[in-house]
Structure 1
Amino acid sequence: MAKLIILRGLPASGKSTWARRWADDPSNTWPHCVVSLDAIRLMVAGSAANRDRMWSRHAKSFEAMVVAMGRHMVADALDAGWDVVADAQHANPRYARELALLARRHGAIWETKDFDVPLDELLRRNAARGDADRVPEEYIRESWKRFHAVMFRPLEPGDPDGNLLDRMRADPYVRVVPVRGETDVFACNFTSEAFREHRWTARTINARGLFLDGDGRVVQRGFEKFFAVDETPETSFERVVAHARDHAGALPVRVERKENGFLGLVGAGGDPGTFRFWSKSGQTDYSALIERLFPEDPAVRGELWRMLREWDVTAAFEVIDCESDRHIVGYDGSGLRLLHLIRNAETFSIDYGHEGAFTQAGGFVRPETVTIARTPDEVAQAIVDAKASPREGVVLYFADGWMVKVKSDRYKLVKAMRPLLQRMLLRGRPCNKTGDVADLARRIVDYARDHDIDLTYERQAFGERDVDMTKVGELVDLVR
């Protein structure tokens, strides 16, 4: 098992000297490395002089970048199974505690290595350093005064059921930001790096659309991240069918139509009759689109608020807005599709038992159940049928709680054209890409021009134009 060694000590206490000896020790044959914040500062700045200028002029942003890079490097090394020394002061116990939590999140053990040196000796050693390594004497004195009494206390990183907000913040692949309009609520989500680099762990998967208060309690939540068939090795077609065949309790599988809009999350606000209309990031410009489609009748709203509060759930909707947010699949009109009631808890789970009552109380529509697959062969056929569908696809809900989605081939093709069409139709630039997708996009634009078809529309709520992907989808079969 990989180990993280967290060094703690003020400047000139001997941390880096110890780290170099540890790295050079020939008896240490396990893969190992040192992540030094001092080294990262110098690497980023390019020179000691520029490092000092960056620190004096941009201290907060510069240090935040350095710390983030260090966290990523530690996490990557632990994921690779390497032992790591985190070489930094960690004078504030918070930073050492967050590293300990990071180690636990990445399946590693951790320990601290303390360098408790008297203040007079620290000042003597610092004075003997070269100009590039010497820090201001006042900095050491102030750090000693502020942190020495607490920095060497034993860490208590918390058990797995501790403060969830702290654990989310400790993970470098989770982004935690305050929710607009709230005083003590934070939105969690995986970072763009986690998405690009496939850093899928229990923490990054769970972070998607998770809202916490300052004490780490779940205020509201959406779906955890789940994947499409053939998107990851674990969700390959063969493995999905094998899951239905080999896992007791996996069958039957409910195959539900995947609607084509954006996700709206509705929860009970703190005051009676008030709601939080949030997208995956919290209060955004899309919140008004959700609210305008929600029931207006005060009595209905009061009953829906009571249900959400009493059952402690979030109502997850697919929001279909034909006026301001058109997608590929066309609809006769705007509206909400109730996807599920999701329990406000750290572990993702759906409250199936109350969905019927909530749907009826709000007069909501739920997505179509396409079929119930009762055998592995029926699961396989449902995937094949979904890929050939003209709709977006389906979601497979296994009886054991596992969820997998299927995107149709046609949907993926049309979606792949969107950035090319935005370049041509909104920015007036030529499509200089090659390949089948680019060729199809050019043919659609030529066809629309020849037949006087406007492929853009005004997004009413945002006052901007965008590509009308619904029209694009309708033209695909004409020009292919």
Structure 2
Amino acid sequence: IETHEIDNPVYRASEKKTSAAIQPDISLDDFLAHLDQHEYVQELKLPHHISSFNFTKKAFSERKWDDVNVKARGLFVNMVSKQIVSRSYNKFFNIDERPETKMHHLVNHLQFPVTVYDKANGYLGTVGYNEMEDELVFTSKSYTSHVKQNQHASWVEELFYQTFGDVQVDYIKSYVSDHNVSLVFEVILPEKDPHVITYDHDQLILLDIVKRQLSYEKAPFTEVQRVSEQLGISSKQEVAVFQDWTSFYKWYQAVSHDDSIKEEGYVIEDHRGFMTKLKLPYYQFWKQMRAIKQRVAEKRSTQKYIQALQTAEQARFYTWLLEQDAHAVRNSSIIELRSQFEQSDAAQLNKDGINA
């Protein structure tokens, strides 16, 4: 056997390439160069010299992750002063979503103690600080509140000033400036932005206090609690602390099959700061029903969703949904439809019981 090699000059090269692992002490200028050359990172130029960097939809759909684009999540940089004005979490993943979050990997790599926190069901918003303008920066979903066509960032600012008085605002401004941090909030807006879990009022929940620097670092939970108490708002809640794998895995097995827990899920953080997420059955069920609701409202095929129906309740909800007015389905949130369905379902079950 002889091997003959012939160069092929006809090919399409990608304009950008994914980056290799980066050094922990990399400068911001060098990191920005990595972002600029990265195939799965997009830059959005915003007012006041700020650019936001985020992973692309293609990175998400193709599951292309590395040391660079996991940091490009809610990263806002003043491109003139070359300062990070707001910073959120690195991208982290659900249990079983990635090789490093599968159980057979976690059993050997989780460092105990492991702490579990509740996961509220809103959207992520941050409050940072732009030194050039001497002003707070309100962000969400790659935008600042200066971009008025993006409602989510504007809603963060609006709810912020509804929640805090002048003295508290001055305190927050000094705090994020002096400590070089961003406040990371879960933003709950039941009327404007309903999700899956029911809430009865607008609120900001303080999740974490993250350093405005490239290497991910956050304040201890005790500081999050102290700041939230001083501001008179809720913080994320510690659910459990596990000292060993056996106790953690028993808990995981119990809650991951418990559909009575009406919450989105939990964030799991080990001793070294590694984070993963667990979504609960109740949330997953109604998230699937929300997708079916959208299909029914748009009169599109629901075949792949129907094939995934596995329980009697799923089948009952789908059947009930088809009986509803399409306009009403389209203009109702899954929370509203769930409430109507549960009332109808309870009435029908009660009627069947009387007839029996």
Provide the TM-score with structure 2 as the length reference.
0.80
1:166 is aligned to: 33
1:431 aligns with 2:302: yes
Alignment pair present for 1:211 and 2:76: yes
Matched, 1:374 2:243: yes
Stretches of structure 1 that go unaligned for 5 or more consecutive residues are 1-24, 41-68, 76-101, 109-158, 245-249, 458-464
Residue 395 of structure 1 aligns to a residue whose secondary structure is strand
Aligned to 1:136: none
Is 1:411 aligned to residue 283 of structure 2? yes
Unaligned runs of 5+ in 2: 145-149, 350-356
Give the drift of 1:373. 1.0
Q: CA 1:184 to 1:466, structure 2 compared with 1: closer, same or farther past 3 Å?
A: farther
Q: 1:26 to 1:447 in 2, by over 3 A?
A: closer
Change (3 A) 1:430 1:207: closer
Partner of 2:235: helix, strand, or coil? coil
Separation in 2, partners of 1:474, 1:400? 45
The Cα offsets for residues 300-333 of structure 1, whole Å up to 9 and x where unpaired, read as 1111111011111111111111111111111122
Q: 2:152 aligns with which of 260, 272, 286?
A: 286
- 1:466–1:314 distance in 2 versus 1, CA, 3 Å: farther
Q: How far does the alpha carbon of each residue in 1:183-228 deviate from its partner, in whole angstroms, 9 at most, with x for none? A: 3211111112211222111111111111122265322111111011
Q: Tell me the equivalent position of 2:147.
A: none
Whichever residue aligns with residue 302 of structure 2, its letter is: C
In structure 2, relative to structure 1, the CA distance for the partners of 1:466 and 1:207 (3 Å cut) is: farther
Counterparts of 2:197 and 2:243 in 1: how far apart (Å)?
29
| 2:265/2:278 contact within 8 Å kept | yes
Q: How does 1:325-474 map to 2 (within 5 A)?
A: 325-352=193-220, 354-387=223-256, 388=258, 389-425=261-297, 427-429=298-300, 431-433=302-304, 434-437=306-309, 443-447=316-320, 465-469=331-335, 471-472=337-338
Of structures 1 and 2, the larger Rg is shown by: 1
Contact 2:85–2:137 (8 Å) recurs in 1: no
**Does residue 60 of structure 2 align to residue 187 of structure 1?**
no
Correspondence 1:28-43 to 2 at 5 A: 39-40=11-12
Kept in 2, the 8 Å contact 1:455–1:467? The answer is no
Alignment partner, residue 168 of structure 2: 300
- State the alpha-carbon separation in 1 of the partners of residues 40 and 50 from structure 2: 19
Counting aligned pairs with the same residue, the percent is 24
SS at match of 1:303: helix
Give the corresponding residue for 1:242.
Answer: 108
**Conserved 8 A contact 2:85-2:129:** no
Match of 1:323 in 2: 191
Q: How far did 1:272 drift?
A: 8.1
- What RMSD over aligned residues (CA atoms) do the two structures have, in Å? 3.4
Contact persistence 2:95–2:102 (CA under 8 A): yes
Is the 1:35–1:70 contact (alpha carbons within 8 Å) kept by the matching residues of 2?
no
Q: Which has the higher helix share?
A: 1
Q: Secondary structure at the match of 1:401?
A: coil
Counterpart secondary structure, 2:290: helix
Residues 401 and 252 (structure 1 numbering): CA distance in 2 closer, same or farther, change over 3 Å? same
The alignment's TM-score, normalised by the length of structure 1, stands at 0.61
Q: Which moved more, 1:253-262 or 1:360-369?
A: 360-369
For residues 419-447 of structure 1, the C-alpha deviation after alignment (integer angstroms, 9 at most, x for no partner) is: 3211213x345634431339966632543
Query: Which of the numbers 42, 58, 61 marks the counterpart of 1:175?
Result: 42
> Structure 1 residue 268 and structure 2 residue 140: aligned?
no
Equivalent position to 1:70, from 6, 14, 31: 14
Distance 2:217 2:9 in 1: 38
2:182 counterpart of 1:314: yes
- CA separation of 1:292 and 1:242: change in aligned 2, threshold 3 A: same
Q: Larger RCO: Structure 1 or Structure 2 (Cα < 8 Å, ≥ 6 residues apart)? A: 2
Note if 1:252 corresponds to 2:121: no
